[in-house]
């Protein structure tokens, strides 16, 4: 049974104390830190770019996954292929030539990831599935933290898991991103997700990240004991 990885979205963190936040997240038992890069064009919001990621990567005590919500991300792969960044994830909808961008990420020595907006069919990644190491199912419309989980994402996660299983791609990480909390976590893990991005829940629950991780792991443990193998 694969370990479910928990990846706090830095977008919901206090940017005035990022270094302490990393220590807190590591102590809390998080596995990755999720970097939401937004350009205000692909999504209606702007967060931070490669300059911030370069600085964060210098003190990151957890591996980083860069979620590039930017138009034509192929132009910036080299900028985000930094030490400490393990996964570079691009949106299917933002790449005119997705296969080329996936190859660029692999050639940069990073794990290529592809992200799907809620309404984007899973068929859009079927021809690159063998070239990626990470699939991210968006369970909110990208651009903001604190949104409600979109219920039909569960069926979509199951569909991607079936595609991966059918190809024997058991090492590909299947992530879900948006509105994940202790109630949603067991549903999406049961559907086949093994990488949970969580922002507003993890940083706002009383007791902070340590409490949030504990609750999520407890909720998953329970469902795995009785649910999906």
Active site residues: 36, 177
Window contacting ligand DX5 (CB under 6 A); options: 94-102, 124-132, 173-181, 184-192: 173-181
Question: Which two tokens mark 60?
Answer: 């990151």
Long-range contacts of 206-210 (CB under 8 A, 24+ apart): 208/24, 208/28, 209/8, 209/24, 209/25, 209/28, 209/30, 210/24, 210/27, 210/28, 210/29
> Considering beta carbons, is residue 74 or 179 the nearer one to ligand DX5?
179
**Contact letters for ligand DX5, residues 183-202 (x by CB under 6 A):** --------------xxxxx-
Q: Does 36 bind ligand DX5 (CB under 6 A)?
A: yes
Binding test (CB under 6 A) with ligand DX5, winner from 73, 112, 142, 175: 142
Smallest separation (angstroms) from Zn ion to the CB of 49: 15
Q: What is the rounded distance in angstroms from the CA atom of residue 102 to the CA atom of residue 125?
A: 11
Residue 89, CA distances (Å) to 14, 85, 136 in order:
23, 11, 8
Binding test (CB under 6 A) with ligand DX5, winner from 74, 112, 133, 178: 178
The secondary structure element, H or E, covering residue 213 is: helix 208-226
List contacts with ligand DX5 (CB under 6 A).
9, 11-12, 34, 36, 67, 69, 140, 142-143, 145-147, 177-180, 197-201
């Amino acid at each position: 049974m694969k370990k479910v990885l928990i990846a706090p979205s830095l977008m919901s963190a206090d940017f005035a104390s990022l270094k302490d936040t990393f220590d807190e997240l590591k102590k809390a038992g998080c596995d990755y830190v999720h970097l939401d890069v937004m350009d205000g064009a692909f999504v209606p919001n702007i967060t931070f770019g490669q300059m911030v990621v370069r600085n964060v990567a210098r003190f990151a005590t957890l591996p980083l996954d860069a979620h590039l919500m930017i138009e034509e991300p192929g132009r910036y792969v080299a900028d985000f292929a930094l030490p400490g960044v393990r996964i570079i994830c691009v949106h299917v909808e933002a790449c005119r030539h997705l296969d080329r961008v996936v190859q660029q990420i692999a050639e940069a020595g990073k794990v290529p990831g592809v992200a799907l907006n809620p309404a984007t069919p899973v068929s859009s990644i079927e021809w690159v599935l063998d070239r990626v190491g990470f699939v991210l199912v968006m369970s909110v419309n990208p651009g903001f933290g604190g949104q409600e989980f979109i219920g039909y994402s569960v069926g979509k996660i199951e569909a991607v898991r079936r595609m991966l299983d059918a190809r024997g791609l058991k090492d590909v990480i299947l992530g879900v991103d948006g509105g994940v909390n202790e109630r949603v976590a067991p549903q999406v893990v049961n559907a086949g997700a093994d990488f949970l991005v969580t922002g507003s829940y993890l940083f706002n629950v009383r007791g902070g990240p340590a409490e949030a991780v504990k609750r999520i792991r407890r909720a998953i443990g329970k469902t795995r004991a009785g649910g999906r193998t």
